[in-house]
């Protein structure tokens, strides 16, 4: 049985849609592409200002997408489903493996307000001064700063694709006045783009941001609707600790029943109940070792 949203909630989209001319207009020159990426980022800025958006959940889901792109850049076979397993099914003492480490780095980068200290949690191998220098490598408009940060990292650490992309997103976030890193560039760039420089790299970054922002806005609208439904059904949940469990679903891309603040059997029953209500989805398609998410 699914739970129907009240009419005043379900009869409208909670977030504004991307203008059609941004999604359909074809541009070739750097100036035209820069104009479109600026329009897309402005629209995303408006979306991110909405209080009805589950911000942490959106960032975590975009982090998974970015991590999958980085793993693909490295030639590894893991995709989003495998990354979820590598992180969310970890047991105490287990190691997540290279792909899991990539996903964890992205999650650490987005979960706290952007700062050198927070980014240092994602990259403990780099000195704080080095991270600060890379983020501040560029001057000018936000996308130019992001591209120059990306180029600066890869110039000094050619194999640090993941760090370069995260720090480029951090430079973008800071220049736009966002509190947190929002993963955008990795999912839109190609592996070959990371070896470009100057205007060629800037053009690639503008193109990447257009496509990634379109997807981020789509995901934001979807998650806002799903989060509204989860909040609507939350009062119907009787299990002790259900409120904290709901907050976890509104924060993380995926949740294992064992991570919920309930006894094991009660946690599985709560997950099944939320699936029956249409408030969360089972993400793996498996009978065991299941993961759930909004």
Q: What is the DSSP letter of 255?
A: B
Distance CA 14, CA 223 (A): 10
Please give the pLDDT value at position 80.
96
pLDDT at residue 9, as a whole number: 44
Give the range among 4-18, 61-75, 88-102 with minimum mean pLDDT: 4-18
pLDDT for 12 equals: 37
Position 149 scores a pLDDT of 98
Give burial (CB, 10 Å; 0-12/13-18/19+) of 248: middle
**pLDDT tens per residue across span 206-264:** 999 999 999 999 999 999 999 999 999 999 888 788 999 999 999 999 999 999 999 99
pLDDT in tens, 119-155: 999 999 999 999 999 999 988 999 999 999 999 999 9
Instruction: Please write the tens of the pLDDT for every residue from 80-109.
Output: 999 999 999 998 888 899 999 999 999 999
CA distance 108 to 71: 16
| CA torsion angle 238 9 217 139 (round to 10) | -90
| Closest to 134 in 3D by CA, of 177, 164, 96 | 164
């Amino acid at each position: 049985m699914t739970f129907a949203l009240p009419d005043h909630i379900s009869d409208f989209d909670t977030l504004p849609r991307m203008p059609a001319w941004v999604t359909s207009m074809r541009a070739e020159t750097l100036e035209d592409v820069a104009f479109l990426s600026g329009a897309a980022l402005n629209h995303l800025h408006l979306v991110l200002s909405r209080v009805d958006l589950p911000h942490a959940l959106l960032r975590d889901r975009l982090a998974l997408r970015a991590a999958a792109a980085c793993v693909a850049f490295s030639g590894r076979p893991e995709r989003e489903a495998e990354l979820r397993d590598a992180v969310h099914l970890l047991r105490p003492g287990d190691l997540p493996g290279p792909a899991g480490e990539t996903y964890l780095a992205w999650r650490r980068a987005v979960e706290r307000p952007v700062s050198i200290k927070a980014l240092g949690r994602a990259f403990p191998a780099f000195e704080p001064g080095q991270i600060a220098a890379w983020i501040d490598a560029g001057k000018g408009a936000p996308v130019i700063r992001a591209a120059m940060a990306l180029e600066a990292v890869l110039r000094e650490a050619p194999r640090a694709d993941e760090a370069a992309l995260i720090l480029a997103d951090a430079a973008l976030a800071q220049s736009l006045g966002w509190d947190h890193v929002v993963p955008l560039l990795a999912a839109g760039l190609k592996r070959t783009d990371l070896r470009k420089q100057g205007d060629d790299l800037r053009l690639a970054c503008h193109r990447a941001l257009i496509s990634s922002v379109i997807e981020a806005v789509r995901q934001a609208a979807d998650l806002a609707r799903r989060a509204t439904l989860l909040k609507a059904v939350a009062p119907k949940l009787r299990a002790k600790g259900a409120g904290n469990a709901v907050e976890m679903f509104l924060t993380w891309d995926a949740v294992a029943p064992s991570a919920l603040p309930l006894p094991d059997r009660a946690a599985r029953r709560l997950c099944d109940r939320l699936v029956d209500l249409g408030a969360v989805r089972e993400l793996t398609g498996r009978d065991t070792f299941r993961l759930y998410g909004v």
